[in-house]
A and B are shown apart, each in its own frame.
Chain A
Amino acid sequence: MSVSAGARRISGNARVVAASRILDPQAVWMIWQRDLVRFRRQPTRLYGSIVRSVVWLFALGLGLRQSFVPVSGMNYTQFIFPGVISMALIFASLQSAISVIWDREFGFLKEVMVAPIPRSSLLLGKALGGASTATLQGIVVLLFAPLAGVPLTPVSVLEGVALMFLTSIAMTSLGLVIAVRMTDFEGFGSIQNMVVMPMFLLSGAMFPTQGLPVWLTAFLLANPLSYGVSAVRGVLLDYYTRPLLLDVAVLSVFSLAMLSIALWLLEREG
Chain B
Amino acid sequence: MARLSDPAIAEEPVIQVEELKRTFGAITAVDGVSFEVQAGEIFGFLGPNGAGKTTTIKMLCTLLRPTSGRALIDGHDVVSEAAAVRAGIGIVFQDNTLDEYLTAEQNLRYHAMIYHIPRSEWRDRIQGMLELVDLADRRSDIVRTFSGGMKRRLEIARALLHLPRVLFLDEPTVGLDPQTRHYVWEYLREMRRLQNITIFLTTHYMDEAENADRIAIIDYGQIVALDTPAALKRMVGGDIVTLVTADDQRARAEISDRLGIERVAHVDGHLTFEVADGESFVPRLLASLSVPVRTVSVRCPGLDDVFLRLTGKAIRDEDAGSADRLKSRMREKGRIRR
Contact = CB atoms under 8 A, between A and B. Distances in A.
A34 interface: yes
B101 A37 contact: yes
Contacts of B162: 14, 16
Interface string B173-187: 000000000010011
B247 interface: no
Interface string A19-37: 1010010110110001001
Contacts of B226: none
B164 interface: yes
Contacts of A107: 97, 99
B191 A106 contact: no
Contacts of A27: 113-114
Given A37-B101, A105-B333, A108-B97, A6 B111 contact: no
B87 interface: yes
A8 B195 CA distance: 10
B165 A14 contact: yes
Which interface residue of A15, A42, A111, A269 has the most chain B CB atoms within 10 A?
A111
Contact of A18 (B87, B93, B186, B333): B87
A6 B89 contact: no
A6 B116 contact: no
Given A8-B128, A115-B86, A270-B63, A14 B99 contact: no
A114 B128 contact: no
A71 B50 CA distance: 64
Interface string A231-270: 0000000000000000000000000000000000000011
Nearest to B130: A6
Which interface residue of B86, B97, B332 has the most chain A CB atoms within 10 A?
B97
A176 to B, nearest CB: 16
B interface residue count range (under 10 / 10 to 19 / 20 to 34 / 35 or more): 35 or more
B174 to A, nearest CB: 14
B194 A105 contact: no
Interface string B44-67: 000000000000000001111100
A26 B117 CA distance: 11
A12 B125 contact: yes
Nearest to B92: A111
Contacts of B128: 6-10
A153 interface: no
Contact of B337 (A29, A111, A118, A269): A269
A110 B159 CA distance: 12
Contacts of A6: 127-133, 136
Contacts of A54: none
B173 to A, nearest CB: 17
A5 B131 contact: yes
A116 interface: yes
A150 B64 CA distance: 53
Nearest to A21: B83
A269 B63 CA distance: 9
A185 interface: yes
Contact of B115 (A11, A16, A105): A16
B115 A10 contact: no
Contact of B338 (A30, A110, A269): A269
A114 B61 contact: yes
Given A18-B87, A111-B111, A10 B125 contact: yes
Given A6-B129, A7-B128, A115-B115, A183 B101 contact: no
A72 interface: no
B98 interface: yes
B68 to A, nearest CB: 15
Given A18-B83, A269-B337, A108 B63 contact: no
B99 A114 contact: no
Interface string B69-105: 0000000000000011011110101011111011000
Nearest to A108: B99
B112 to A, nearest CB: 9
A15 B118 CA distance: 10
Interface in A120-153: none
A45 to B, nearest CB: 11
Contacts of B102: 34, 37-38
A115 B115 CA distance: 7
Contacts of B265: none
Given A2-B134, A3-B132, A12-B121, A108 B98 contact: yes
A7 B191 contact: yes
A270 B338 contact: yes
A29 B113 contact: yes
B334 interface: yes
Given A14-B164, A116-B83, A270 B65 contact: yes
A84 B202 CA distance: 51
Interface of A: 1-19, 21, 24, 26-27, 29-30, 34, 37-38, 41-42, 101, 105-118, 182-185, 269-270
21 contacts: A7-B191, A10-B125, A10-B129, A10-B163, A12-B163, A13-B163, A14-B195, A30-B110, A30-B114, A37-B101, A106-B95, A106-B96, A106-B97, A106-B329, A108-B99, A110-B95, A113-B63, A114-B86, A116-B83, A117-B114, A182-B336
Given A9-B125, A14-B164, A183-B337, 12 more contacts: A6-B127, A9-B131, A10-B129, A10-B194, A12-B118, A16-B87, A18-B83, A30-B110, A34-B110, A37-B101, A106-B329, A112-B114
Nearest 7 A/B pairs, CB to CB: A6-B131, A9-B128, A6-B132, A14-B163, A116-B87, A10-B128, A116-B86
